[in-house]
DNA sequence: TGTTCCTCTAGTGTATGCAAGATCGTTTCT
DNA sequence: AGAAACGATCTTGCATACACTAGAGGAACA
């Protein structure tokens, strides 16, 4: 069947999964709304089979809820839940950095410092995407610094789920500068091997990011209807 | 919902998922081994469709790895990885209890104390399964005490993944008594609202459970051959 | 009029069939 | 003989067909 688009990923279920995830994140699908397999399949020109696979994946990621024999509904992505996700993310990040401050090798510490240095130019040029990329690398290096690959995987998965909010948050005026300043404090604590202090700084960092997101979205979208 | 055997769930895919999960946990399937859909389907008297669903679920839970168009293989469940999982579980439990100590309502605190009281009889009668059930309730009450439902869900999911190891751990001679003693210390710290101390006690509790598991499995299975 | 039971339908769970891609052995060329 | 190309075969990805259950809605009854 000749496709009408040039998607490099040949897996239909994957494409559906991504598309549905985007729509849910963007709020195009209201929480609690029923997701009919046939209907979604028609919308993507696919049969129910790949749709089902996509829905299972999304259920595992927490974006939809599946009740056996009763179909799937959009998961509750309310403002309250987003706050909860931010809190958990902050605590996981704090946990990672606490362990990392104790366990990172000199090579890893050096890499972290280098990443932080490189980010200075991005902030100066107001290159949001570039800083976002380095930001990601910074946190990822910390995850790996825990020397607990299971924990690192979980942290990465969690961060992926929050990716949409994270980038938004950086668009607030002056946020990248302050974000980098917070990174600096985290970095210093890591260099001193002070895990508890690093954790405190990281918690503050995530909290500030959360606040920035709230302010930014409140400005752009004054009344989120229910 | 924890997978108790008394569940007459008529969903074939679910039964297959549970069975495969058990086999992987028990080490009956070696890490890296290929999982042929047809073959598994034959083994359960099912077609490939429910097998596929089960494999997707397991992939989401991290038990198997799926390479597109190249099939599924058993995920790396090495001894090192189990240690990592225990560490993360311990930290998550510590995080939950820290928040719970600050946020639990009097009603919730009372319920927790009651659960702890009830467990005394189980320990006295050496009722492992009964204590395991109350143990689960105890921890679950703490999760909910965080008043962060997202965090609670993640903690429950993690605990489910470790369920097999957790019950094993309690079979060590005298472990239930000591486990209950550790709970008592956690409970006291919660009652005082001392989150940091509660977290420390919980970390120690989980660490001891991990050690108990290691000793128990080392005794029963001196040489895990492959 | 309110309740209970039944039927009917919409929609999920499973089986089967078909096509595309991956693996591996064979063949052919240098 | 070694390496690259080719093709047979096996497995996955997707489509379609059938089975079975949960709810909705109406009919029968108190």
What sign results for the dihedral spanned by CA atoms A109, A110, A116, A119?
Answer: negative
Interval B15-70: pLDDT, tens: 999 999 989 887 888 889 999 999 999 999 999 999 999 999 999 888 999 999 99
Q: Quick check: A73 and A34 in contact, CB under 8 A? A: yes
Report pLDDT digits (tens) over A63-121: 999 999 999 999 877 778 888 999 999 999 999 999 999 999 999 999 999 999 999 99
Helix axes B149-161, B128-145, angle to 10 degrees: 150
Q: If we measure between CA atoms, which residue out of A43, A39, A35 comes closest to residue A70?
A: A35
Measured CA to CA, the distance from residue A16 to residue B187 in angstroms comes to 47
Quick: pLDDT tens for A44-66. 999 999 999 999 999 988 899 99
Q: What is the C-alpha to C-alpha distance for residues A177 and A220, in angstroms, rounded to an integer?
A: 21
Q: How far is the CA of B159 from the C1' of D4 (A)?
A: 52
Query: Comparing C-alpha atoms, which of A89, A90, A109 is closest to residue A100?
Result: A109
Confidence of residue B216 (pLDDT cuts 50, 70, 90): confident
Closest chain B residue by Cα to residue A147: B84
Q: Choosing among B148, B152, B155, which should be mutated to test the A contact, i.e. which has the most A CBs within 10 A?
A: B148
Interior CA angle at A89 toward A28 and A106, to 5°?
A: 135
Per mean pLDDT, which of A4-18, A131-145, B168-182 is the most reliable? A131-145
Please state which of the ranges A27-36, A97-106, B155-164 shows the lowest mean pLDDT. Answer: B155-164
* 3-class DSSP assignment, residue B123: helix
Please give the structure tokens belonging to residue B147.
Answer: 């008043």
**What pLDDT is attached to residue B223?**
47
Q: CA nearest A80 in B: which residue?
A: B148
Which residues does chain A have within 8 Å of residue B84's beta carbon, measured at their own beta carbons? 148-151
Taking residues B145-161, what's their average pLDDT? 92
Reported as a single tens digit per residue, the pLDDT across A125-181 is 989 889 989 999 999 999 999 999 999 999 998 988 887 777 778 888 888 999 999
Which pair of structure tokens corresponds to residue B44? 């359960």
One-character DSSP codes across B55-66: HHHHHHHTSEEE
CB pairs below 8 Å between A and B: how many? 59
């Amino acid at each position: 069947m000749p496709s009408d688009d040039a998607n490099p990923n040949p897996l239909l279920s994957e494409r559906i999964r991504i598309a549905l995830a985007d729509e849910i994140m963007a709020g195009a699908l209201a929480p609690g709304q029923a997701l009919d397999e046939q209907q979604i399949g028609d919308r993507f020109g696919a049969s129910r089979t790949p749709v089902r696979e996509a829905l299972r994946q999304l259920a595992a990621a927490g974006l939809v809820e599946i009740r056996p024999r009763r179909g799937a509904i959009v998961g509750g992505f309310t403002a309250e839940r987003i706050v909860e996700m931010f809190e958990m993310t902050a605590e996981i990040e704090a946990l990672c950095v606490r362990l990392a401050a104790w366990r990172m090798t000199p090579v890893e510490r050096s890499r972290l410092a280098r990443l932080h240095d490189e980010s200075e130019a991005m902030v100066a040029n107001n290159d949001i995407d570039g800083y976002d990329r380095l930001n990601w690398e910074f946190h990822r290096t910390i995850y790996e610094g825990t020397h607990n690959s299971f924990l690192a995987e979980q942290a990465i998965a969690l961060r992926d789920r929050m990716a949409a909010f994270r980038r938004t948050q950086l668009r607030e005026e002056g946020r990248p500068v302050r974000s980098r300043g917070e990174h600096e404090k985290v970095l210093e604590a890591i260099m001193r091997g002070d895990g508890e202090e690093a954790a405190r700084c990281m918690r503050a960092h995530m909290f500030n990011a959360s606040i920035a997101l709230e302010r930014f979205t409140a400005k752009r979208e004054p009344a989120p209807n229910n």
